[in-house]
Structure 1
């Protein structure tokens, strides 16, 4: 999988992810539209919403941000100020949030 690391930093107190405007445009993710948010054991995936999906959905704010759903925060044990890295998955046109470590995400 070809990923481009965009940034690493701490989550704010109330976990919000700011997505790069350039890549939102490329992926067709627009302000005011919904995105699907899914996760596995260590990563959060953000991509254009599929109307038929049953995944968590969030609206993209004017600042190209989304709030991480409570269910995902609880499932992954996300804490305020936790370290994360944002990756661009060009092939699958999505963002990947890798939690608590700085190396490239591992998929199981």
Structure 2
């Protein structure tokens, strides 16, 4: 996994995650565009949606947030106020979310 840890913060009550502006633009995750959410290997990948994909899709808000569906949050064990880690994967043009296990 070639990624850089961007930061760690508590998960919100609303189930939204703010994606950093610098990489949002680079990855094509602009307001009003669809993001694809793929959960595999205990990691949630957030990337630009493809037309044929059957994965979860969510719109990017004007503030650069994306809503994580309740089913994915439960699968990952993400609950308020637990923390998550946001990684930036420039090689694959995506964000990666992992939960802190301690």
Task: Report the TM-score, using the length of structure 1 for normalisation.
Answer: 0.87
User: For each residue in 1:5-44, what CA deviation from the matched residue of structure 2 results, as whole angstroms up to 9, or x when unmatched?
Assistant: 1111111112211001110111111100100001124211
Question: Which runs of 4 or more aligned residues in structure 1 lie more than 2 Å from their structure 2 counterparts after TM superposition?
Answer: none
Q: Indicate the residue corresponding to 1:64 in structure 2.
A: 64
Contact 2:18 2:64 in 1 (8 A): yes
Equivalent position SS for 2:17: strand
Gaps of 5+ in 2: none
Q: How many equivalent pairs are there?
A: 102
Distance 1:22 1:54 in 2: 27
Distance 2:88 2:20 in 1: 9
Distance 1:24 1:99 in 2: 21
Q: Are 1:15 and 2:15 matched, yes or no? A: yes
User: For each residue in 1:54-86, what CA deviation from the matched residue of structure 2 results, as whole angstroms up to 9, or x when unmatched?
Assistant: 000000001100010122122223211111110
Distance 2:84 2:11 in 1: 7
Contact 2:77 2:99 in 1 (8 A): no
Contact 1:37 1:56 in 2 (8 A): yes
Q: Indicate the residue corresponding to 2:36 in structure 1.
A: 36
Gaps of 5+ in 1: 103-108
Distance 1:43 1:15 in 2: 16
Worse-superposed segment, 91-100 or 76-85:
76-85
